[in-house]
Amino acid sequence: MIRALAWVLRRDLLLAFRRRGDVVNALVFFVIVVSLFPLGVGPEPNQLRGMAPGVLWVAALLACMLSLARLFAPDHQDGTLEQMLLAGEPLVVLVLGKVISHWLVSGLPLVLIAPLLGLQFDLPGNALAVLGVSLLLGTPVLSLIGAVGAALTLGVRGSGVLVALLVLPLFVPVLIFGAGAVGATIAGTGAEAHFLLLGGFLALSMVLAPWACAAALRIAME
């Protein structure tokens, strides 16, 4: 199973490297959305610090969603997904490999660049660190839940809109506690409770989402 997981990771990362435009588009979208808010609302530091957690987290959520519709669609079109279903390896392991590769391509760059963009909002150093940790815990949850939505809408016309409708309600708790961790740090209270809840969401998603995604893929391929 480890070899199968490594194979899926290597394959999807190579394909993502060949389609660098998809990766760059999501990252550029994140940078543009976050950078436009300070220009639009003015240079007032207190106002910028108050809106920074929500702006950064909403932009990260939307950037992660841009690539969800293409998580399984290319493999479905060229027949690779059917071969994965027929392979002797557990489909759950293969799905987990695809989700990890999706996060490495679409989520990890956001985690790395978000603290730099947070400087535009005059965030203190401890808030920038909390922002990075909250995104590190929250963005894998977005990829795991988004994979279930992508599997449920596989092969459906207008799947991008349907994925958004399916997963956005499930993304809301992650958004609330992720932004809340940064807001609590700015207010001077601890962010430990928010981190614990984000960690709980991540653990629950890692256990349940691959199984739900594998079941949805089997239904879509029948």
CA distances from 41 to 44, 138, 187, 209 (A): 8, 27, 21, 39
Mean pLDDT of 77-94: 80
The runs of H, that is alpha helices, within 123-191 are 125-152, 159-187
Buried b (16+ CB within 10 A) or exposed e, 45-68: eeebbeebbbbbbbbbbbbbbbbb
Place of tokens 């949850």: 141
pLDDT over 90, % of the chain: 39
Condensed to tens digits (0 to 9), the pLDDT of residues 118-129 reads 988 888 889 999
pTM: 0.90
Q: What is the pLDDT of residue 116?
A: 92
**CB 86 within 8 Å of CB 188:** no
Q: What is the pLDDT of residue 182?
A: 92
Q: What is the pLDDT of residue 135?
A: 95
The Cβ of residue 11 has, within 10 Å, a number of other Cβ atoms equal to: 15
Query: In the chain, how many H helices and how many E strands?
Result: 10, 0
Phi-psi group of 82: left, alpha or beta (phi > 0 → left; psi -120 to 50 → alpha; rest → beta): alpha
Condensed to tens digits (0 to 9), the pLDDT of residues 134-163 reads 999 999 999 999 999 888 888 777 667 788
Q: What is the pLDDT of residue 15?
A: 84
Residue 29 has pLDDT above 80, yes or no: yes
Q: What is the pLDDT of residue 21?
A: 74
User: CA 63, CA 179: separation in Å to the nearest integer?
Assistant: 16
Mean pLDDT of 173-189: 91
Token digits of residue 159: 């799947």
Q: What is the pLDDT of residue 158?
A: 65
Q: Which of 16-20, 158-162, 174-178 has the highest mean pLDDT?
A: 174-178
71 closest CA partner among 36, 34, 115, 19: 19
User: CA 54, CA 62: separation in Å to the nearest integer?
Assistant: 12
Token digits of residue 85: 């279903």
**CB 32 within 8 Å of CB 63:** no
